[in-house]
Amino acid sequence: MPNTDEPKLISGNANLPLAQAIARRMSMHRGKSIKLVDTRVERFNDGEIFVEVFENVRGEDMFIIQSTSNPANDNLMELLIMADALRRSSAAQITAVIPYFGYARQDRRTKARTPISAKLVANMIAGAGIERVLTMDLHAAQIQGFFDIPVDNLYASPIFALDIRHHFKKKISDVMIVSPDVGGVARARELAKRINAPLAIVDKRREKPGEVAEMTVIGNVEGKHCIIVDDICDTAGTLCKAAEVIMENGAKEVHSYITHGVLSGPAVDRITKSVMKSLVITDSIQPTEAVKAAPNIRIVPTAPMFAQAILNIWTGTSVSSLFDTEMLEPIYEGFF
């Protein structure tokens, strides 16, 4: 059992609305007000980050909520500096809640003389005094092994399964899950199993990074309501192209469920003009005003899952129980 009365939450600037939503959900679960620790996170004129914690955290179990999304380097440094401030203030335990783990796409050497940046970031996080990491849908599962501290990796597929069952309940028998590449088959298969749907794959070949030369659909998508499933959507070029190819192969309509909506550059404009009927993302990355205004982009919340996961870590109970739809459904009651 914990030594403190309640877990304490602290947030950087990466995704303050999500941190506040997590605090509200935890307040509901605990039956008492849980607020973010009063903190000042600011920058000096030369860009240096400064953190000051205004509350006593000695002996407390601290949870830092901070995605390392754009600007990735600034948000990563905020996380590290907050951890150092808490460690030097005698916090009992520091857990980093990183809804979107940046640098995860650099998980291996793709050619000679390139870094494995995900491993470097893992070393920095552990070196800052963080003792546990809670994240969602790591781009590569092996990143958990880069850490010498416990890592809990949550999955968005149970949330997506609830959403799909709600929005496609009248045509669920015609739904087909599609993986946008061979590497994402395991993720797509997991969601397909949850809703008892068939699986198709888009095989893509790249001439160079960011440019797709050829796409082939493996599986019969004719007359199906196709749902593309992936963990990250950055510029949306590949996603929109995959949707076009699927429609050309006879699909009735195409939707996409993506965990982390990076949506940089021309992404929102491409999605708005694409053949995709809808794109569903989570709020692991704070959405921009353009994303919120896009007519075919919808955001599902992760706060209920993260709030329960934090409480489970704090009380020493199972986090993997949140992978079970029956356990998750009551937490998301009223959202779908």
Which residues belong to the annotated binding site for Mg(2+)? 139, 181
Q: Are strands 297-300 and 278-282 parallel, antiparallel or unpaired?
A: parallel
- Distance, CA of 84 to CA of 130 (rounded, Å): 8
- Whether 204 is catalytic is yes
Q: Are strands 132-136 and 225-233 parallel, antiparallel or unpaired?
A: unpaired
- Distance, CA of 135 to CA of 66 (rounded, Å): 10
Q: Are strands 49-53 and 199-208 parallel, antiparallel or unpaired?
A: unpaired
Catalytic residue among 119, 204, 241, 252: 204
Name, in order, each residue with C-beta under 8 angstroms of 50's C-beta and a sequence gap of 6 or more: 40, 41, 42, 43, 44, 81
Residue set of the binding site: 46-48, 105-106, 139, 181, 206, 230, 234-238
Residue set of the binding site for ATP: 46-48, 105-106
According to the 3-state scheme, what is the secondary structure of 102-123? CCCCCCCCCCCCCCCHHHHHHH
Burial 67-97 (b: 16+ CB within 10 A, else e): bbbbebebbbbbbbbbbbbbbeeebebbbbb
Compute the CA torsion angle 307, 309, 315, 321 (nearest 10 deg). Answer: 130
- Distance, CA of 112 to CA of 55 (rounded, Å): 48
Residue set of the binding site for D-ribose 5-phosphate: 206, 230, 234-238
**Contact (CB, 8 A) for 258 and 278:** no
Q: What does DSSP assign to residue 173?
A: G
Nearest to 219 by CA among 250, 240, 241: 250
The phi, psi pair for 174, rounded to 5°, reads: -100, 5
| Catalytic sites, residue numbers | 204
